Structure 1
């Protein structure tokens, strides 16, 4: 299952603790990776510790975490804590997040995300490798910190949307991750990542993609997926991508401030299918194969759980592929 991982979903209509059940099902069915981020429920490092104490083998990937909110030192402390208190972390991810979260929730500057990312990755890599911080950049500054329990060589993933962040990710990350994109977008990013990496003389990083997956979905499952997709209609990057897929009117409505509930009701199943895998088992597997063929080294599936608690049926069916 090294080419397919599982991503913790944050469905608004399900118990928050379901993510632990998903991790247990993912491990039981032989998946090698579990991605654990954060939204409006658990702190990512606390969640990873809880999952790590309840599982034995599945690789814990934490993030992406917003670089304007989490400093390189705080990220290093977090992954080191999970490793020491639960079990080793398999990787950590960083992202630019959105103005709504960075500036609205946390009162932090969102601008200059790409140049901030370049500095943050450099400092984080040095700290994880055991170095003492001594860096004063345009956006990131740290002096005198050394991690007591270094994690040398820990892979750093960068969430990329837009040409500037894609270039940075290609030049400094170990892996690039995309969320809610079409296979065509994956192919375009794969080409750009390879070109940028070649331009600085490095091996291109791996490319991962996260996609929502709905096996034989009923109305409740489609409504669940639509409610979450509505959150991504307005943020920079996502909105432009959905517009390119033919849903510009929904993006305009979202950016005009239309309530998320109304937007979710207007999202057609075709939009969800354009950035995910929806249908029978054979449909889902064929769609995952499309993302691999487009250039994704890894596909992280986001299980819909409205009619499939903890994604148990989906994960069991994919394990028997």
Structure 2
């Protein structure tokens, strides 16, 4: 079964609380799944609770969260709190993040492969009701899926090994390889993007040029010069100006309604079992136009 959901974006040029408005718009449009990640604004579990209390039906997928930041106990408690307070089904996604977030912001050890493998194993055990390090979750959540974000060969192997699903972000359809586990792909999306929307999308890509894994993927797409500039410390604003629209198109779904729908199907045909639309909002507040237009065309089983 192939499905399409929505990702709450954290655009640097938009009010943080727009994330809740996007969630409400996705729920009202009829999308069945909402991903809630975490950047520099909200705690993901707190935001998921707020979203669950403002929406009616949409299921919540929390993450990918940095596996090296929270302990398995903290992750299990956070997820169980969301489920208990909202009465909504929820699942978890974990990933490596990057050294700036894990070590710089949170002061934790940067050991992505080991920490991801250990954290997924212990968190899964807690969610099924087992005791880990003396702690047992009072209200276990058996059957909860844990997805793992993958970038680069090492994290892809870990995701295949311990995840229920492999999550990919900012990849072209050609980078969606089939494997033993289902693939979920996050894809920036915009209908008829104007200058402000393209500026917003370029700004997002500029953030991801330097981190491990992402940079290698962009290099493989032919944009190694931008990656070198990013890793040399070029300011994000200058990088954003240098990002060509062709790179946005290579890893996104932008254009007319037909263009976006066709692009989503390219990801599904390449092997994705789920596409999470990351809606641009610079010229479409809360992505209401995009979500209400696409929902009738992209919800349901698209296999």
- 8 Å contact kept, 2:2–2:272: no
3-state SS in 1 of match to 2:62:
strand
Q: Where do 5+ consecutive residues of structure 1 fail to align?
A: 134-142, 195-203
Q: Which one of the candidate residues 249, 272, 291 is aligned to 1:315?
A: 291
- Residue 76 of structure 1 corresponds to which residue in structure 2? 76
Post-superposition Cα deviations, 1:250-269, rounded to whole Å, max 9, x if no partner, equal 10000000100110111111
Tell me, in whole angstroms, the C-alpha distance in 1 between the residues paired with 2:211 and 2:65.
16
Does the alignment pair 1:259 with 2:235? yes
Note the alpha carbon deviations across 1:156-203, whole angstroms, 9 max, x for none: 00001111111121122111100000111113xx2xxx2xxxxxxxxx
Moved more, 160-169 or 308-317: 160-169
Deviation digits for residues 32-51 of structure 1 (CA, Å, limit 9, x no counterpart): 00000110000000000000
* Counterpart for residue 140 of structure 2: 150
Q: In structure 2, what is the Cα distance between the partners aligned to 1:301 and 1:81?
A: 26
Match of 2:255 in 1: 279
**Within 1, Cα distance between the matches of 2:7 and 2:154?**
25
Could you list the runs of 4 or more consecutive aligned residues of structure 1 that deviate by over 3 angstroms after TM superposition?
none
- Superposed CA RMSD in Å reads 1.1
- What is the CA–CA distance in structure 1 between the aligned matches of 2:240 and 2:57, rounded to whole Å? 37
- Note if contact 1:2-1:33 (Cα within 8 Å) is conserved in structure 2: no
Q: CA deviation at 1:205?
A: 2.2
Q: Please tell me whether the aligned partners of residues 79 and 90 of structure 2 are also in contact (alpha carbons under 8 angstroms).
A: no
What is the CA-CA distance between 1:115 and the residue it aligns to? 2.4
| 1:129 pairs with 2:128 | yes
TM-score of the two chains, using structure 2 as the length reference: 0.96
CA–CA distance in structure 2, aligned partners of residues 277 and 55 of structure 1: 26
Q: Which runs of 5+ in 2 are unaligned?
A: 298-303
On the 8 A contact 2:2/2:268 being kept in 1, the answer is no
Q: Distance in 2 between matches of 1:172 and 1:319?
A: 32
The 8 Å contact of residues 65 and 95 in structure 2, kept in 1 or not, is answered as yes
Distance across 1 between alignment mates of 2:29 and 2:290: 10
- Of 193, 210, 222, the residue aligned with 1:246 is 222
The structure 1 residue matched to 2:174, chosen from 184, 201, 211, is 184
Higher relative contact order (CA 8 A, sep 6+): 2
Deviations 1:207-242 (A, max 9, x none): 100010011000000000111111000000000000
Distance of 1:238 and 1:205 partners within structure 2:
21
Partner of 1:270: 246
Aligned length: 297
**Would you say 1:97 and 2:73 are equivalent positions?**
no
Distance 1:231 1:281 in 2: 27
- 1:2, distance to aligned residue in structure 2 (A): 6.3
- 2:32 is matched with which residue? 32
3-state SS of 1:217 partner: coil
Q: Please point out which of 237, 242, 248 is paired with 2:213.
A: 237
Q: For 1:167, which of 126, 147, 157 is the aligned residue? A: 157
Match of 2:301 in 1: none
